[in-house]
Structure 1
Amino acid sequence: MSSGVDVECAVTIDRARDEVAAFASDPDNATRWYENIRSVEWETPPPLRVGSRLAFVASFLGRRLAYTYEVRELDPSRRFVMSTAQGPFPMETTYLWEDSPDGGTRMTLRNRGEPSGFSKVAAPLMAAAMRRANNKDLAALKELLEAGA
């Protein structure tokens, strides 16, 4: 039985796919819609591309987390994948954007990883907390973009 965490959430946003993808994949916007992300710093010069490295500071389950994501895939307006191998909880984050039938954009946010140590024991709790946080973050993104951000 896998002790991994795999959380996938989605939202439909009443904005064009290019607009949603450009905003969501811009690291400089992360603190505007991710409640738990405190800061993002570029470790490699912009623009965003495969190999770009971004230092994040976040708060999750009452703990301060600092980690560096590396961009693994970037297919503008379709797919964005970044991952970190640091710390007790290596993680991969994937954004997918698809046209929705009503002319908006369906955005899927997926986080998956293989915790080790204590994090492995806490994986079910972490998955539930991540699902709540991701749904809240996607709702914030929807609200921001539909308000014209």
Structure 2
Amino acid sequence: MPVNIVTSIEIACPRAEVSVFAADPDNATAWYSNIKSVEWQTAPPLAEGSEIAFVANFLGRRIAYTYRVVELVVGQRFVMSTEQGPFPMRTEYSWVDAASGTLMTLRNSGQPSGFGAIAAPALAAAMRRANNKDLLRLKAILESHHRDGARPHPVS
């Protein structure tokens, strides 16, 4: 059973500000509650072909995987994929202008196999909850810094 989770949120900040912060792997631990560490496998800056290793805790398990950037259109779209972890997955961010600032959409999709295929409905529900929580955290970080006129920075 394929997994395709799509979540969106409006953030009251300019698209450039949202996309620069969200697409920077060094900020992932600030707004993704499950990501515990990030390590560049290729030298920055971020570009198609960049590889970034992540360690996450999800559903009580430690998961280590390396994403490869497959598409980067600055300020519009960011796509990474991995063949590691519980199942091969693709993560996509997109940003468009919205009445309040920026609409950010986060999509996780993949095809679990083995036990992952059996657990896919529960896994998808947990991913949806986590994505919604993470987008709310991203919104809070960016909007508070935007209101204060400060440049957003990672917070642990």
Common fold: TM-score over 0.5: yes
Q: Percent identity?
A: 62
Count, aligned residues: 146
Per-residue deviation at 1:86? Answer: 1.8
- 1:27: which partner in 2? 25
- 1:113: which partner in 2? 110
Q: In 2, Cα distance between the equivalents of 1:70 and 1:45?
A: 13
1:40 to 38, 41, 59: 38
Per-residue deviation at 1:128? Answer: 0.2
Unaligned runs of 5+ residues in structure 2 are 146-151
Per-residue deviation at 1:87? Answer: 3.9
2:47 to 42, 46, 49: 49
TM-score by length of structure 2 reads 0.92
Q: How does 1:43-122 map to 2 (within 5 A)?
A: 43-102=41-100, 104-122=101-119
- 1:131: which partner in 2? 128
Deviations 1:40-75 (A, max 9, x none): 100000000000000000011110000000000000
Amino acid at match of 2:67: Y
CA contact (8 A) 1:88 1:117 kept: no
TM-score by length of structure 1 reads 0.96
Deviations 1:71-99 (A, max 9, x none): 00000000000000124400000000000
Misfit runs of 4+, over 4 Å: none
- 2:16: which partner in 1? 18
Instruction: Compute the RMSD of aligned alpha carbons.
Output: 0.7
Q: In 1, Cα distance between the equivalents of 2:35 and 2:85?
A: 17
